[in-house]
């Protein structure tokens, strides 16, 4: 995924600060680069994890499918320009074979070391917006580069190089070499992530003890941070950033 095109990145951290969330929101927002913004900040249960607690997420892939380059509104940074005609109906029909729980080894990236490549896709929808073909794909989790590898395969089907039935055959092969090329990252964008905060498990006794004994990091003086531009202010020495 293109690092500058995510619309709904979610992150979490543990803090011992007594400062209200509204103040933290303003403080973080003032130090972000000009092309980023903080949309929402809230306290969550101790067992919440931005990645592992996700129930489902939706990615959108955009293809600029006309001869002319996507120069209007600077969209060239966020779309894949594929000028040859694509049959969207063929792509939609082929994609239906991938909805549900399947082993997506054929669409895993090279060097994938996950113990299981089984993932559940809830829906895949194609539609047109002006000169673009868009694919919305919702799933409970994805392998690294899975969506881009799926789109690269669907492009081969949409352009008529491969039959629609090949989507089922490629999935069953569990062989990355049978699928299409990896579509460019610039066309992919995370749209949203869904959570069930009420359904999270209660914290363990060990987790509660760690939280109670946690101490704030011993950061540098205020002038040490303000000495740097706000968008590039580094973490003070001694802050533990690993999970």
The CA distance from 142 to 9, in Å, is: 15
Q: Cα dist. 225→129, 135, 229 in Å? A: 45, 43, 9
Looking at domain 54-194, its CATH class is alpha beta
Phi, psi of 119 (to 5 degrees): -135, 155
- Greatest distance between any 2 Cα atoms in the chain: 64
pLDDT at 167 over 60: yes
Q: Is 0.85 topped by the overall pTM? A: no
The CA distance from 100 to 108, in Å, is: 17
Residues 81-131 have pLDDT tens digits of 999 999 999 999 999 999 999 999 999 987 777 889 999 999 999 999 999
Q: Where are the domains of the chain?
A: 54-194
* pLDDT value, residue 6: 67
């Amino acid at each position: 995924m293109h690092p500058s095109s995510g619309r709904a990145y979610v992150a979490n951290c543990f803090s011992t600060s007594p400062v209200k969330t509204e103040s933290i929101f303003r403080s973080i927002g003032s130090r972000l680069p000009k092309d980023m913004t903080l949309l929402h900040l809230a306290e969550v249960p101790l067992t919440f994890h931005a990645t592992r607690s996700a129930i489902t997420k939706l990615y959108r892939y955009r293809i600029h499918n006309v001869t002319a380059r996507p120069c209007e509104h600077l969209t060239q940074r966020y779309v894949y320009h594929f000028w040859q005609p694509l049959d969207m109906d063929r792509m939609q029909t082929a994609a239906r074979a991938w909805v549900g729980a399947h082993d997506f080894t054929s669409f895993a990236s090279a060097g994938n070391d996950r113990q299981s490549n089984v993932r559940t896709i809830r829906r895949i929808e194609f539609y047109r917006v002006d000169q673009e073909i868009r694919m919305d794909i919702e799933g409970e989790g994805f392998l690294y580069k899975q969506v881009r590898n799926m789109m690269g395969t669907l492009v081969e089907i949409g352009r008529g190089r491969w039959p629609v039935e090949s989507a089922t055959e490629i999935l069953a092969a569990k062989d990355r070499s049978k699928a299409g090329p990896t579509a460019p990252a610039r066309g992919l964008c995370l749209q949203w992530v869904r959570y069930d905060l009420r359904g999270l498990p209660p914290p363990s006794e060990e987790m509660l003890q760690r939280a109670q004994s946690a101490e704030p990091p011993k950061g540098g003086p205020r002038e040490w941070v303000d000495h740097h531009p706000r968008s590039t202010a580094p973490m003070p020495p001694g802050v533990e950033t690993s999970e």
